[in-house]
Each structure stands twice: as structure tokens, then as C-alpha cells.
Amino acid sequence: MGKITLKQAAQWCGGRVDEKYADVEFLGANNDTRVLQPGQLFIVLQGARDGHDFIPAAMEKGAAAVLCSRKVGDYPAIYVDDPRTALGNIAREEIRRLGCKVVGITGSVGKSTTKEMIACVLESTFKVSKTPANHNNDIGMPMAILAMPEDTEVAVLEMGMNHFGEIEYLSKIAKPDVAVIINIGTMHIEFLGTQKGIRQAKMEIVKGMSPLGMLLLNGDDILLRYLDEEPLQRITYFGQSDGCAVRAYDVVQDGEWLKFRAEAGRLRFPVEMHLEGEHFVNDAMAAITVGLKLAVSVERIQTSLAQFQNMSGRQEIFQQDGYTIIKDCYNAGPESMAAALAVLGNKPGRRIAVLGDMLELGDCAQAEHYRIGRIAAEKADMVFAYGPNGKRVLNGTITSGMPESKSRAFEDRDALIEALKRAAKPGDVMLFKGSRGMHMELILEGFLKKE
């Protein structure tokens, strides 16, 4: 990452800096004093508490300077009206200064996995920087940009949202050369009204792109295949459907290996990945398409995907204490929940689904939890539902013929953990999945904890 002076950053964001501190330099930025590193710019934000209250602690931790809206002590600082917007402006100018290619990724389900696959493929050929963990919003993505090394050749940036205008804001900061939309699901429909509304919000990714940019869309998603308005950018479709320019076919799950063949024009080649679930195919096709567009060789694409390992918390499958655990606790929506249940359903042994609520579904919540309950009844031998919508899941399982003794709903975490400990036996396969706000990882930890 390059050092930036306060004077330079202030010019980029329209801020003011005291002349005696103009030449102070910072490396990266952070808004959390708990993880702030020495030399970083501390970003003051308004949350449950006024971020200005944390300035002394940030300086004690070694912050180089502060980005804030009012003076608190005699510290190196950039003064602006809105630190959030100023952070975005600084990041926009920094990524322009780096001069790297930018790949932007959005979609309803699987953004982070697709980002990781794309980065994995590109790392075989380029110096790549990417957004870490869930740094995909108006604070996280700019901070990720300010952490990028000087020699970054390609930036792979995940862009998330739950309201209109958010991806447009991120796109205008990053100005993607390549944009990928992997699907249009129902997550965040509470705030966006309809799936077409979600598509409209996702399509904002083109707002910061040049007309010469490349837009890569999932051709299996009918909402992306048939757009209301054609964007200026060139569209390339990837997927498993006929007519996709980059297409997967002969998909087979061979034990723990997902295998398929890919074709793009005259190119045809096999792909093998150590992942379970056909839902990963389109994520891989997005990565293959980006790789081919940026001239990564087929051999390097194949090797990268064969070595790919998913991020922690996203469909980790492991053995412990005689159980096979499918840990998929990072997030959940109807599409990803159905995909995870399909993976569970293909496992030998007694199958137990531990399902937390799917959040931000608005008026669709009751119907979607009921539908997931019906799917769970087909894929699992026992279902434990957790959260205010757990009874809707329970109703779905019972309607589908699952005995009431095999399906239970809980709103108390400790009661659920105790019930799991009584019901589960070594040899069982257990899926733990729910929205991030349900903290399903705590249920898993409680279940595995020795007395």
C-alpha cells in the first residue's frame, strides 16, 4: 500500500488539514479501534456512539491521523463534513493512482465464494488484491482499497447492498473494468420490493463503468438473461444454458469432487473442484470467464480451481467427534438454503438440518420459511429450526409428511443446543445454516463443546 499524506488526501476529499500536519503520512484506514493498526488513518463514524469519542484511544493505538468532522484535541487530522463520503473519495483517487484493473462482483447469493474463486484464478497470473471477509459495503470496500499494495495489478472487489443506490456508490468509487453479476435472488427483498427491484439495484454496478467495460452475467438466471434495458457495456453470458458464451456441461458430483467440462468458443476443457454441490458450478463459470477475459491460460485456470478452498464458515465440511459437520453459518437466503439442503441430502447416514431464520425477506418471510421446511423434509431425517420463523419451517416439514417427533422449532439457543445433544448420535451428518444475524456458529460451538 502506498503512503498518502494528509495534504494529498484532503485534496482528494475536499477536506481541511492544519498546515503543521500536512506532511503526516498514513498507510491504510480503519474505523474500529479494536483492530486498528499503527500508522493507519482512523475513520470517525456515527454509530451507537459518536466516533469522535474514540479518537484518543485510536491515537494511543498508534493511528497516524484521524478523518473526522470536528476537532477533538491537537491531533493530525483531516476535517470534512461527512467522513464516510470522504473515505470513498480518497479510495476512488487511490485506486485510480494504483492504475490496476478492477473486477467488481455482486449478486444475491455466493458473492464471496465467487470473489474468492476469481481471485484464485487471477492470482496464477497477476498480483491480486481483494476485499477481505465481508468488506463489501461503503466502509469496508474503500478501506480494502486503501490497504492494497503498490504493485497490485488486479483488484477483485465484492460489492454488497440492501438498498437502492449502494452499489452505484461503490461502482463510482471502484470504476470496474470487468463487472460480474452472479444471480438475482430474494435476499434483501424486504427493502427492494421485488426481484426486479433487486436486479435494478444489482445493475447499478455499471454506473461507474466505462462503455468499454465488460459485463459478465449469469445466463441461467432469467432475470439477467432478459434485461429491461441493455447497458452500454459488452455483455458475456456464462452458465449451463444453451447460448451462454462460456458454458458448463456434463456436471457430475463424484464424491467430494465436483467435475464438469467447460467450453468457450473453440476451447473445451475439464474442470475439477474439491467442493460439494452443483450450485458452485456457476460461481466457477464466473471465475473461468473472468480468467479467459484477462488472458489467463486454461492450464492455470484448471490448476487454480482444483486447488481452490472456500472461505471459513462457507460450507466447510469436516469430521469431529464422530459427526460429519456441514458448517455454512456465514449467511443464508432461500436460494443458498435450498442448495445447502441439497448437499446434505446427498450425504450417507442420518441427516440432521439445523436451520436458523433467513433475515431481510420482508413480506416473503413466512412463505419462504414454509417452503424451506418442505425442502428440508425431503433432504433431512430430522429438522431443528431456530428463530421467530422456526414454526413456519416446522409447518412446512409436517405438511410434507415428516413426523412431528422429527421436527422441532426453538427460539432459545441453549434449549436448542441441549435438544441437539440429546438427539444426535455419532455417524450423523449435521448441517448448520442461517443468516449471519442468527449466529449459527454459536449453536455449533455449543453442540460440540465438551461438558
Q: What is the arithmetic mean of pLDDT over 21-26?
A: 96
pLDDT band at 381 (very low <50, low <70, confident <90, very high): very high
Q: Tell me how far apart the alpha carbons of residues 402 and 409 are, in angstroms, rounded to a whole number.
A: 14
* H-helix or E-strand spanning residue 376: helix 365-379
Q: Tell me how far apart the alpha carbons of residues 282 and 42 are, in angstroms, rounded to a whole number.
A: 39
pLDDT digits (tens, 9 = 90+) for 299-335: 999 999 999 988 766 788 999 999 999 999 888 888 8
Q: Tell me how far apart the alpha carbons of residues 125 and 103 are, in angstroms, rounded to a whole number.
A: 15
Bin 168: left if φ > 0, else alpha if -120 < ψ < 50, else beta. alpha
Instruction: Tell me how far the alpha carbon of residue 126 is from its chain's centroid.
Output: 22
Q: Tell me how far apart the alpha carbons of residues 101 and 68 are, in angstroms, rounded to a whole number.
A: 31
Q: Tell me how far apart the alpha carbons of residues 182 and 192 are, in angstroms, rounded to a whole number.
A: 18
Alpha helices by DSSP H, listed for 106-209, are 111-122, 140-146, 166-174, 189-192, 195-202
Name residue, grid cell 478501506: 143
Please, which residues have CB within 8 angstroms of residue 261's CB and are 6 or more apart in sequence? 248, 249, 250, 268, 269, 270, 271
For the range 271-274, what are the long-range contacts, defined as Cβ-Cβ under 8 Å and sequence gap of 24 or more? 271/301, 271/302, 271/305, 271/306, 272/302, 272/305, 272/306, 273/305, 273/306, 273/308, 274/306, 274/308, 274/309
Name residue, grid cell 498480483: 127
The whole-number pLDDT of residue 189 equals 57
**Does residue 178 sit in helix, strand or coil?**
strand
Beta-bridged to residue 30, according to DSSP, are 42
Q: What is the arithmetic mean of pLDDT over 380-400?
A: 96
Q: Are 157 and 111 in contact (CB under 8 A)?
A: no
Q: What is the arithmetic mean of pLDDT over 374-402?
A: 95
Q: Are 78 and 10 in contact (CB under 8 A)?
A: yes
Torsion sign, CA atoms 241, 247, 252, 253: negative
Spell out the domains of the chain, with CATH numbers in brackets: 4-80 (3.40.1390.10), 99-307 (3.40.1190.10), 316-448 (3.90.190.20)
The whole-number pLDDT of residue 72 equals 87
Q: Where are the beta strands (DSSP E) in 57-198?
A: 65-68, 77-79, 101-106, 128-130, 154-158, 178-181
Average pLDDT, the chain: 93
Alpha helices by DSSP H, listed for 154-235, are 166-174, 189-192, 195-202, 222-225
pLDDT band at 73 (very low <50, low <70, confident <90, very high): confident
Q: What is the arithmetic mean of pLDDT over 77-87?
A: 97
The whole-number pLDDT of residue 1 equals 56
pLDDT digits (tens, 9 = 90+) for 118-133: 999 999 999 999 999 7
Q: Tell me how far apart the alpha carbons of residues 135 and 112 are, in angstroms, rounded to a whole number.
A: 10
Q: What is the arithmetic mean of pLDDT over 385-409?
A: 94
- For residue 71, what is the DSSP state? -
Q: Tell me how far apart the alpha carbons of residues 17 and 14 are, in angstroms, rounded to a whole number.
A: 10
Please, which residues have CB within 8 angstroms of residue 148's CB and are 6 or more apart in sequence? 1, 94, 95, 98, 100, 129, 155
Q: What percent of the chain lies above the pLDDT cut of 90?
A: 80
pLDDT band at 28 (very low <50, low <70, confident <90, very high): very high
* Residue 190 reports pLDDT greater than 60: no
